[in-house]
Amino acid sequence: MNRGLCFANEVRDLYPAVWSAAGAAIAKCNEVMHLVADGDTQRERKELSAFLGLWGAVRRYQINSLLEIFSRNLDEGLAILRMATETARTLKAVSTSADVYSIWLKGEERHSSEFKAAGRFDKSDPIQNAVYNAYNFCTDYGTHGHKTSAVFIVDTPMGKEPSMAGVASIAAAWFVHCVPMHRFCLKSLVDDSSDLFVAADLGLTVAEARLIERIQNDPFFKNINGTTAH
């Protein structure tokens, strides 16, 4: 346990702007969830609470994923991030109709063709396609690949571990994919022509811009190309 804490603290101490940007994005996504919770007056409250619970799970998976990545557990971080994409997809499914929601409540979704059809990514939709790409990335390099950490192995004071270049590379993917998952959740629950959607999406857009700005300008991400050594 001290190993992971040591590596995560290293990122926080050496690259505080990266740590802060990720935290601010997570906080902004939480604000957007509360905005929807307060602004959705049409949906039955118990149902809305269940849907927001799924959305909250997306956010928690993202937090745990990034902590694993910063701890140099790259495959584990990607596996958890894929769980975030799957949960966002579940939210899409259950929000489509009362029948699909009922299937999910009964725990019958694994055997339901109706549920699977409702939860399928629509790759013609830019928002859903972005999350689909995240799902595939996490699957190829984390959940099924099981070799992402091994690709970046170097000698460290803690022994042979993934390099900071590996951490930065996978963290960059996290930074790119974080907000689209929340935008997907937002669109699943809120009409994208509504004032509520516009206000919520503005908050997400600001968070996304700050994450991308870190990728472009922070020394942490120069590790990917080997221009910063740690």
What does the CA dihedral 84, 70, 164, 222 come to, rounded to 10 degrees?
70
Is residue 228 classed as helix, strand or coil in its secondary structure? coil
Check whether 228 has a pLDDT greater than 80: no
What pLDDT sits at residue 146?
Answer: 66
pLDDT single digits (tens) 118-164: 999 999 999 999 999 999 999 987 676 667 877 788 877 777 888 99
Distance CA 185, CA 178 (A): 12
- Single pTM value for the model: 0.91
pLDDT single digits (tens) 175-195: 999 999 999 999 999 999 999
Pairing of strands 159-162, 153-156: antiparallel
Q: Domain map of the chain by residue range? A: 2-225
Check whether 52 has a pLDDT greater than 90: yes
Tokens at 131, concatenated: 């999350």
